[in-house]
Amino acid sequence: MTKKYTYDYPRPAVTVDIVVVTRGPRPRVLLIRRKHGPFAGWWAIPGGFVEMDETLEAAARRELKEETGLSVNGLEQLYTFGDPGRDPRGRIIAVAYLTQVHEKQVRPQAGDDAGEVGWFSLQRPPALAFDHREILARARRRLRGNHP
């Protein structure tokens, strides 16, 4: 049975990425080491797919909790990344979020499809999966007050 108002166009998937940055003069970013492909073993920004019945922010909070054990108060929508080649799994649009934390007040722990978590220099992160270097560049500009 066809749903009313559906169209025969390909539909992209949607993901959320959550950039968690420490407050202070030398900000650090929380990254996860991916357990599964694509990019198994690579460092990445925590995130994942949006479920059909949840808001973008709810998906961001869920993914952050599942992968790092963290719950945060403030989440700011950073930017939407939609380059058709950004993900080898197919046409996936990512909505990135940004939050700042006090590093000594949070205790991230790897969970779900994160094999490891770690804090890294926001200015000089390791090699990253997907287009996450571009996402971190956008976060650095936002934190410096250079929008967008």
Q: Which residues are catalytic?
A: 116
What's phi and psi for 94, nearest 5 deg?
-115, 135
Q: Name the token pair of 55.
A: 């808001």
> Distance (Å, rounded) from C-alpha 125 to C-alpha 28?
9
Q: Which helix (H) or strand (E) holds 58?
A: helix 56-68
Q: Which residue has the tokens 């650090």?
A: 28
> Which tokens hold the place of 133?
């270097």
Residue type, 81: F
Is residue 65 helix, strand or coil?
Answer: helix
